[in-house]
Amino acid sequence: MYEPIRSKSVHAMGEPTPPPRRPRQEELDIQLAGHLAALLTVTDELRALAPDPSLDRAAQRLTEGVTRLRDGSRPARSATAPAQERPDADRVASLHRRAHTLAGRALVVAASRADTGAAILSAERMDAHAAALDGAGSALSGAAH
């Protein structure tokens, strides 16, 4: 039938080399920049659906935070579409929940790397999105009566 393989595969010949490792601080920087960039994307989407000067300021601060963590490389941003007359309340609430979650993740990483500025920004965004959700819930329950 078949003859047994007598030599090792060419793929198994060399010593296995471990993947290059980054220092913990660098890993945390990458994670934090990623969370803040994702939060910025959701913030931009909220700005497009329901423009608000506080969201504009938040987007600016998030951009500055990501740029700082990426050594001056600015995050990619989508163009803000014109606001709708009546934005979909469910979509806006969903975006606020997503933003709250992302801000919470950013807060955890910011605390791990002892980045006070990013931690404060993340906590402020969590509070703002929680307040927006509470306000939306109050408006919805008030409209039902």
Q: Would you kindly state where each structural domain of the chain is located, as residue ranges?
A: 25-72+87-144
- The whole-number pLDDT of residue 18 equals 72
C-alpha dist (Å) from residue 26 to 18, 40, 48: 18, 21, 33
Q: Is the pLDDT of residue 14 over 90?
A: no
- The whole-number pLDDT of residue 144 equals 42
- The whole-number pLDDT of residue 50 equals 87
pTM for the full model? Answer: 0.77
Query: Once rounded to an integer, what is the mean pLDDT over residues 11-16?
Result: 62
pLDDT tens-digit profile of 22-75? 888 899 999 999 999 999 999 999 999 988 999 999 999 999 999 999 998 888
